[in-house]
A and B are shown apart, each in its own frame.
Chain A
């Protein structure tokens, strides 16, 4: 059954989780920055944020990864594999997250904003006390899904030799030839991490819809 292979794969799992969390932090930061940037009253800011979003959404994450790791050094910026991986994943998912941020802010129901006007809140107060809190709640389910996508995307950094789970699995099956067992465990381990997250996101989604039905 290949239980002896588990410790090696689990070591990779630790790196996978690390990668996921650090990339998620980068992605969250970029999502908020670019998402709000797209809504800025200044044309230049909107343009910059928009370009970032379209470029990183419009090209493949693997291509971005390779670009950061192989092409960037020729510009004089040498990144170690882990940094390149986190950067590529974070910037990529952050671009998708930016659209979520923008979409959530724009889809706060008009009635909420009108109630704010009726109570004579200033525009800044409306943003801070009404729009942003509601938008943040609405962003939770899509962000949860982004996190799961990020987890699966970490497998790609195995291709630039970061020793996460897929890399360990791949090199193990090269050295031991026990292909069936190794890949079975690999799939099971990913499933064991991702599926509970999926269930969690769905639960959050239900709570959020109930909450917004005010």
Chain B
């Protein structure tokens, strides 16, 4: 296992590949934002469906549990290989974004559910007493109260999704990890590409996590 342990780092090479990696980082970010947008919408849809009649809520719950109990990688493969068989041909990037969005939409539906339930019964009853219709009850009373405390959780999931984008490399999306793989196999220098990718992730996710923590603290204080 150990030949000779040495520390190798070629700074010149690292700086040379950095621009390429940063461009790939941009692809990664786009995938994250796209996936997150889809997840936010699907999450809400799932959460609302689960409040419906049993004939709708049970299949929804089943889908959510199924998506959450199976690996994202396998779900990506399914979308990538099986969709074309039914005539749906999308780019790898779009397929990946949809896969990401579906998977985390299932998780976000749980966040929505908790947030909505957190809005006390009394609010619903006050809305009825004031004769609000169902739609306005949601848009003017329930959602505005449910959403702010959910923000830190959303922030967390955004960061999680950002760190999961490398899975898209398995379906040939050229994001950060795939770019590092390409550089590595071209030059046989694996250290600099993979280390830089790791550092880029760290440099982006760590400050983001600090911001989310700050948000969380602010909401914890408010709740008191």
Contact residues of B between 35 and 91, Cβ < 8 Å to A: 65-66, 68-75, 77-78, 81-82, 85
Cβ–Cβ contact A59 & B74, under 8 A:
no
Binding-face segment, A23-31, A38-46, A131-139, A154-162: A154-162
Task: Give chain B nearest CB distance to A77 CB in angstroms.
Answer: 6
> Among the listed B71, B82, B205, which residue makes an inter-chain contact with A166, where contact means beta carbons less than 8 Å apart?
B71
Q: How many residues of B contact A (CB 8 A)?
A: 47
Inter-chain CA distance A73–B194, complex, in Å, is 13
- Is A152 part of the binding interface, using a Cβ–Cβ cutoff of 8 Å? yes
A75/B81 contact (C-beta < 8 A), A59-B163, A60-B164, A62-B166 known: no
Main secondary structure of the interface of B (DSSP, over half): helix
Q: How many residues of A contact B (CB 8 A)?
A: 44
Cβ–Cβ contact A60 & B74, under 8 A:
no
> Among the listed A55, A73, A156, which residue makes an inter-chain contact with B202, where contact means beta carbons less than 8 Å apart?
A55
Main secondary structure of the interface of A (DSSP, over half): helix
> Among the listed A75, A173, A191, which residue makes an inter-chain contact with B8, where contact means beta carbons less than 8 Å apart?
A75
**Please, what's the 1-or-0 string for B157-198, where 1 marks a CB less than 8 Å from any CB in chain A?**
000000111110110000011001100100001110011011
Cβ–Cβ contact A155 & B65, under 8 A:
no
- Is A79 part of the binding interface, using a Cβ–Cβ cutoff of 8 Å? yes
Residues in chain A within 8 A of chain B (CB atoms): 54-55, 57-64, 66-67, 70-71, 73-80, 148, 152-156, 158-159, 166, 169-170, 173, 179-180, 183, 186-187, 190-191, 194-195, 198
20 A-B pairs besides A62-B169, A78-B3 with CB distance below 8 A are A58-B201, A58-B209, A59-B201, A60-B163, A60-B164, A60-B177, A67-B194, A67-B195, A70-B194, A71-B191, A71-B195, A152-B69, A154-B71, A156-B73, A179-B81, A180-B85, A183-B78, A183-B82, A191-B69, A195-B69
- CB-based closest 4 A-B pairs: A155-B71, A194-B69, A62-B166, A70-B190
